[in-house]
Amino acid sequence: MTRIDKILARELNVSRRDARQFIKQGRIMINGVMVKSVDEKCEDNAEIYVDGKIISNNKFVYIMLNKPKGVISASDGKGETTVVDLVPDDMKRRGLFPAGRLDKDTTGFVLLTDDGTLAHNILSPSHHIDKTYIASLDKPFDDELVEDFRGGMTLNTEELLEADIEGLNEERTLAKVVLRQGLYHQVKRMFKKHGITVVELKRIKMGSLELDENLARGECRYITEDELKLLFE
């Protein structure tokens, strides 16, 4: 059982005082019953409504965002728009941050959470979560590049984990790339080693969890518990 004012403060990103004000104004319901006391407690799986609209009652939130170009993968953009800025206010939480970065000009799947342990597991090299990208290239790749990707290439003396690459068009200027690590500018640098420039890059999958194709660029939605498991498959 948790105090309702504490849950409201956490879920709505407001102060406890504001949360208690909402209760006094009769705006809060638990399982269909209006909350009368600011001291009321609530079961962990209860349905909580604010002004008739259900809110999540989870300790942590997990959000899938379809990142557009020009947005920074950070919680503080120092004046520039960040992925956290794109999350609507009613989904925002204190401590929300992206678990893994995409370059400013890369689009696609960014996972945002306030769960530090999960973020650590996603980012930890020992978990090797596959990340799948679609790369559009300025010239075709050849078999030598494929071998280098699949064999675990050396980049500036660093030996990379094996990656996979598959052509998505006959000219081999559009490729699906699967990485098992997330080094700085990794996809772009791997192609650059072979004289190829990545013109467009989009992340479409993390683990076995695919970016929801119904999300327009800049849109986000919660990730369900079942979907979360797919991250580690």
User: Residue 64 or 187: which CB sits closer to ligand URA?
Assistant: 187
Q: Are 201 and 188 in contact (CB under 8 A)?
A: yes
Q: Segment contacting ligand URA (CB under 6 A): 98-106, 138-146, 168-176, 205-213? A: 98-106
User: Residue 83 or 102: which CB sits closer to ligand URA?
Assistant: 102
Q: Are 210 and 115 in contact (CB under 8 A)?
A: no
Encode 50-63: b = buried (16+ Cβ within 10 Å), e = exposed: beeeebbbbebbbb
User: Residue 28 or 190: which CB sits closer to ligand URA?
Assistant: 190
Question: Which of 63, 96, 102, 163 touches ligand URA by CB under 6 A?
Answer: 102
Neighbours of 92 (CB within 10 A): 17
* 103 touches ligand URA (CB under 6 A): yes
Q: Segment contacting ligand URA (CB under 6 A): 5-13, 45-53, 63-71, 100-108? A: 100-108
> What separation in angstroms does the CA of 167 have from each of 108, 135, 137?
19, 10, 11
User: Residue 127 or 185: which CB sits closer to ligand URA?
Assistant: 185
Structure tokens at 24: 């006094």
* 107 touches ligand URA (CB under 6 A): no
* 58 touches ligand URA (CB under 6 A): no
Question: Which of 61, 187, 196, 231 touches ligand URA by CB under 6 A?
Answer: 187
Q: Are 69 and 107 in contact (CB under 8 A)?
A: yes
Which listed residue (5, 85, 103, 105) is catalytic? 103
Question: How many residues in the shown chain lie near ligand URA by CB under 6 A?
Answer: 8
Which residues lie below 8 Å from residue 192, measured CB to CB, with a gap of 6+? 198
Residue 103 is a catalytic residue = yes
What φ, ψ does residue 134 adopt, rounded to 5°?
-110, 125
User: Residue 197 or 224: which CB sits closer to ligand URA?
Assistant: 197
- Give the integer Cα–Cα distance in Å for 67 and 111: 10
Question: Residue 181 Cβ, how far from ligand URA at the closest point, in Å?
Answer: 10
* Positions in 201-220 near ligand URA (CB under 6 A): 201
Task: Give the residue numbers annotated as catalytic, written as ranges.
Answer: 103
